[in-house]
Every structure is written in structure tokens, then in C-alpha cells.
């Protein structure tokens, strides 16, 4: 280009700088039109487990649905899919909220939990227990809300009184006021499996919160001793006594204890072998395993997908739990760490206890397998809780890929 004042002098043309294209990353994907800082690996793991869970739940449930619901083989999967879709929408919605606002809601949620636990005791029993509140065609278990209420309340109080957790007034008393009524009401249903989960969750949260270890002996020893006395020397917990007897002798039909479900589950696991019979080819789901879509769905997984398929699913669970722990530990505040760890530990404990029950490692206590077992309340609450972990991940100091 020529210079108008001095034609002989030419302007130097500066080379134009071009911006490099941004490297493609899942982090740049927008969810619901908003740039997301949430942890994509955790989200993908949740979606994988929900998808596989729905497939396996349908495979395990259609014979039982056909038999119980006048030829409607899609009864269970239709209901579960609806709750899954609603739960996933709620998960994404909750993931965009500030999880710190839950501190304000912990008391209303806890009071709601107590009210529902009292209300369920007035409901007519189903299979000898009172665990469901029926609202027309929809039933839900208050115990699912109780687990979340315990985690949220403990996280809030530990965060508030962290420097005083070594004292009885702040480190023990408030938590006993929350825990003891919850555990007692769950035991009255009776819901022994959820009672065990609540006890473990409370212990883990207090341990993370820095409680002195001697308090565990002072508080838990009398409780466990009393529970042991009821089980071993009285008929107050005949429900639990029969489960323990069946666990010790699952193949002893002469004992008079009903171990049919445990035996059929073990037959299913053994039939699967290394590679399984193939998706949809389970034999034990044809009215041998009672309600195979519920607590014993992992037995059908082992029968159809074999040892290899079961291990892959366990790896997915383990990876989800590991990622949840990483997100929680690197949260931007103590409350996020406590809340995230509690929610992650709930998934981990339920997974471990369910598989232990199905393999007869522990007595049959009716613990559901997260993302797999049939149950709208459980799946809905679980996905909302995963949304909270995703909300925590937005501020976590981790590489989001």
C-alpha cells in the first residue's frame, strides 16, 4: 500500500494474526443452553448406569409383569422409565442451583421426614410391613427422604459446629436428637435394611466431621447390645430372626425358614457362568425369583450377562463412587465436601449391601440396588442427589473433561 504523503514510502503490512481454533472438549458443550461447569465424567457415569439399569430392569421384570398385571409385560418398565425421565430432568435442574441454599432447607426437610415416618405407621401393612404411603396409584417410601434428611442435617450441623465437634453438647447431642427418632421409627415399620444404612451414614458423617472415636463406643455399644438382645433372646424381632436363620442355612428346607428367594438367586448367579446366558435369557426370572425386578435384580444380571458383565457394572459403580469422592474432597467449602461425601457413600453402601445380600454374604435385608431396582421414589431421590453432587462439582477444583 502506498503512503499518500510520500508515495515512495510504503507502509509495511503487518501480518494478520489468526486465532487458533479452540480444542474440542466436552467442557464446551452447553446443557439446556447454559455453559456448564459440571463434571462430565460423573454425569456420563450416571447416565450409563441409569440406561443399563432400565434395560436390565425390563429384562428381569417382564415375566412377572405379564403374570401380575393381566398380560401387560411393560407395566414395571413403563413406570420406571417415567420416573427416570422426570428424575433426569430434576437432576439437571438441581445441578444448576447453588447447593449452599440447602443449609436453609435442612430443618424443613428433616421435619417432613419425621412426619412422613409417623404417617407411614398408620398405613395398612403390605407383606407384613408398613413402608409405603399410597396416594392413589402412586406409592412412595418415606425412608428414601429420611436418608437424604440425615445426610443434609448432619452436613449442615457439622459445618456449623466443626470447631466444637469434640464436645458432647455440639458433637454428639444434636446428632442423637436427629438420629435416634429416625432409627426408631424405621425399626417400627419394620425397615431393618434402611435402619442399618442410616446408622452407617450417621457414623460415617460423624467420623468425617472429626468426632472423637470414644464417642462411638459410648453411643453405639449400648445400641448394638440392645439390638442383639432383642434378636437373640426375645421374639420382638422375629422378622429379623428368621432372616438370620435363613442366611445361616439357605439350602436347609427342613428348618422351616423361607429361603426360597435366596436359593433362587444363588441358582441364577451360578447359571450365568463367565459369559452369561445372554440378555433376556434368564430362566430364574420366570416366577422362580420372587419380584426379580426389585432387590434380587443383580442375580438376573449375573445370569444373563455372566461374571464379565457383572464385573463391568461393578466397575461403573466403583468409578462413579471414586469420582464422587474426588468431587467432594475438592469442593470449594466444607459443607460441599461433607454433603457430597455423604451422598456418594449412600450409593456405595447400598450397592455393596445389595450385592452382599444377593450373594448371601449377609442376611436378606431387602436393600435395593441403586439405578437398577424397581422403585420410583428411590430412583427419583437418587437422581436428585446426583444433581446435588453435580452442583458441587461446578465449584470443585478438578479437571473437568
Cell numbers representing residue 332 in the block = 470449594
pLDDT given for residue 131 in this prediction: 82
pLDDT given for residue 36 in this prediction: 53
pLDDT mean across residues, the chain: 83
φ and ψ at 201, to 5 degrees? Answer: -60, -45
pLDDT tops 70 at residue 367: yes
Centre a 10 Å sphere on the Cβ of residue 349 and count the other Cβ atoms it contains.
19
If one compares 89 and 37, the residue with the highest pLDDT of the two is: 89
How far apart, in whole angstroms, are the C-alpha atoms of residue 146 and residue 381?
Answer: 11
pLDDT given for residue 164 in this prediction: 86
The model's pLDDT over 212-236, given as tens digits with 9 standing for 90+, comes to: 777 777 666 666 666 666 555 555 5
How far apart, in whole angstroms, are the C-alpha atoms of residue 55 and residue 313?
Answer: 13
The model's pLDDT over 175-187, given as tens digits with 9 standing for 90+, comes to: 889 988 998 888 8
Geometric angle at alpha carbon 103, from 97 and 106, rounded to 5°: 110
Those residues with Cβ within 8 angstroms of residue 83's Cβ, 6 or more apart along the chain or in another chain: 376, 379, 380
Band (pLDDT 50/70/90 cuts) for residue 253 is: low
Least trusted range by pLDDT, from 80-94, 140-154, 216-230, 265-279: 216-230
pTM (2 d.p.): 0.84
pLDDT tops 80 at residue 347: yes
> CA torsion 60→62→63→65, rounded to 10°?
120
If one compares 6 and 248, the residue with the highest pLDDT of the two is: 248
Amino acid at each position: 500500500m502506498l503512503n499518500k504523503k510520500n508515495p515512495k514510502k510504503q507502509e509495511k503490512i503487518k501480518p494478520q494474526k489468526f486465532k487458533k481454533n479452540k480444542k474440542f472438549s466436552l467442557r464446551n458443550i452447553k446443557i439446556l443452553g447454559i455453559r456448564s461447569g459440571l463434571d462430565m465424567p460423573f454425569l456420563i457415569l450416571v447416565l450409563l448406569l441409569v440406561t443399563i439399569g432400565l434395560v436390565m430392569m425390563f429384562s428381569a421384570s417382564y415375566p412377572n409383569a405379564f403374570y401380575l398385571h393381566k398380560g401387560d409385560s411393560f407395566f414395571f418398565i413403563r413406570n420406571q422409565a417415567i420416573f427416570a425421565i422426570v428424575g433426569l430432568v430434576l437432576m439437571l435442574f438441581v445441578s444448576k442451583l447453588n447447593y449452599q441454599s440447602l443449609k436453609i432447607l435442612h430443618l424443613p426437610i428433616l421435619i417432613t421426614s419425621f412426619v412422613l415416618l409417623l404417617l407411614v405407621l398408620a398405613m395398612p401393612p403390605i407383606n407384613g410391613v408398613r413402608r409405603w404411603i399410597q396416594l392413589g396409584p402412586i406409592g412412595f417410601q418415606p425412608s428414601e427422604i429420611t436418608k437424604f434428611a440425615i445426610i443434609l442435617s448432619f452436613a449442615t450441623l457439622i459445618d456449623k459446629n466443626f470447631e466444637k465437634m469434640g464436645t458432647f453438647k455440639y458433637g454428639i447431642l444434636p446428632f442423637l436428637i436427629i438420629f435416634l427418632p429416625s432409627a426408631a421409627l424405621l425399626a417400627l415399620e419394620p425397615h431393618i435394611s434402611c435402619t442399618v444404612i442410616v446408622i452407617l451414614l450417621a457414623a460415617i458423617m460423624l467420623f468425617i466431621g472429626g468426632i472423637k472415636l470414644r464417642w462411638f463406643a459410648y453411643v453405639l455399644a449400648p445400641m448394638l447390645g440392645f439390638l442383639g438382645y432383642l434378636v437373640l433372646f426375645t421374639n420382638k424381632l422375629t422378622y429379623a430372626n428368621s432372616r438370620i436363620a435363613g442366611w445361616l442355612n439357605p439350602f436347609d428346607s427342613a428348618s422351616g425358614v423361607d429361603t426360597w428367594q435366596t436359593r433362587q438367586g444363588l441358582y441364577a448367579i451360578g447359571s450365568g457362568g463367565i459369559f452369561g446366558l445372554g440378555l433376556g435369557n434368564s430362566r430364574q426370572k420366570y416366577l422362580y425369583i420372587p419380584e426379580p425386578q426389585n432387590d434380587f435384580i443383580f442375580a438376573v444380571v449375573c445370569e444373563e450377562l455372566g461374571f464379565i458383565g457383572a464385573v463391568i457394572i461393578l466397575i461403573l459403580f466403583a468409578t462413579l463412587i471414586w469420582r464422587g469422592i474426588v468431587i467432594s474432597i475438592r469442593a470449594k467449602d466444607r459443607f460441599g465436601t461433607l454433603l457430597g461425601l455423604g451422598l456418594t457413600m449412600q450409593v456405595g453402601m447400598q450397592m455393596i449391601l445389595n450385592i452382599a445380600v444377593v450373594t448371601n454374604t449377609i442376611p436378606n435385608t431387602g436393600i435395593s440396588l441403586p439405578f437398577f431396582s424397581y422403585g420410583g421414589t428411590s430412583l427419583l431421590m437418587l437422581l436428585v442427589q446426583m444433581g446435588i453432587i453435580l452442583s458441587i462439582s461446578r465449584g470443585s477444583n478438578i479437571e473437568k473433561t
